[in-house]
Structure 1
């Protein structure tokens, strides 16, 4: 389909050609200047359109497509319904990133901390099965990142220390897709009151897990509390974190969810 801009250009060129042709026919303008007079406005117009107008429209089309994609994504679709203020913040950040030339997928990845904060707020209200399912997938991601390397794993687990990673580039699409679905399910069913937490039993079970980990890792286990410490062993920190969550998720479902809430909320001591 021919765009309106091209039709307008063709029409303008035709009118200009007729006008210049009339001047030549009346011998008021020599052929060479006539050619230049005809060509120059077209050249300037095309430079203006393809150098400014067209790229601007193309960028806006990309932004429109990306924001529409965001609204369809699991998690963000739910956030838009439940937390319109947070969604608007994500929308603005996405547009700003795209205008700065950040690729769409990477720009969407930059929004992960916003979702992570919301998930942490909802953990206590989440259903046991949703919490366990989400953390099982998170554990898979940790293991995949560890296979990639200690640095990637460390940055994935502790983005506040060394900056995060581009998850979409480093993890299989199937895995990140399942993560989005699990996060979405957790958010959809965590809008009510908090689940009861058995602090006494949970702390006993957490202490039992820690004792087992201490037998394997010794005093190095304490560095889980200080990942930003200079000279920390990134590989060992990743391995210990994986070991911790793997041990917790090995508990019966209700117990593992209870202990996970204690760990995430920081009420384990």
Structure 2
């Protein structure tokens, strides 16, 4: 059964949600950072007030036995305050957990935000005050699972160039979700395959180019320079294309350098003659 195109749905929310359903990355939500902080501070202050009430009850307690045993504490006011504290702590912890989960979602891609805004501006089927959430780009998150960030960047780059230089690209069957010529919703594998090919080519070049260069030079110092520069380029590539943490970069650099056997035959005397004691870290 052939799926309906976006324009075949009735104007308004039926058509808008049909558009959102064509691409999982279009499902964007606001985090409401300011409101979350306001609620968090309110809950935190409520606990602070209860804490002071409990401290005051303890300080003014006439019966020392009540403070020495929970079982024999017959101070009803303290029991009420403790119950309130427990309820507030449960609510406080749950709110923190929900907020933490919300912030784990990836930020919305600027391209997806722009695409939705352009579509809304061109169709005008939804009240503007109900789509104003798109104006808060710094708070928008994507509910969809986080994709490979590197692949996503490459796919965007490939798709942009295909649209620009291949006139019939828009007419391919994997762009049939909409009849609007200004809407590009890719559901095919062509863009992904090309992006994968580019990424594999880049990885192969970064890994093998230094090996080939090292085999063509005989100077020890030249080989060290080649490996050092290639390591820097490798780490810069990882930093720009991925969201690598500091320790991950250190491990990646160590693993990368160890792939070159050209450094291992170096003796301590050779390293001393080069005056590069710091290069021991690469051996």
TM score, norm. by length of structure 2: 0.29
In terms of fraction of residues, the more helix-rich structure is 1
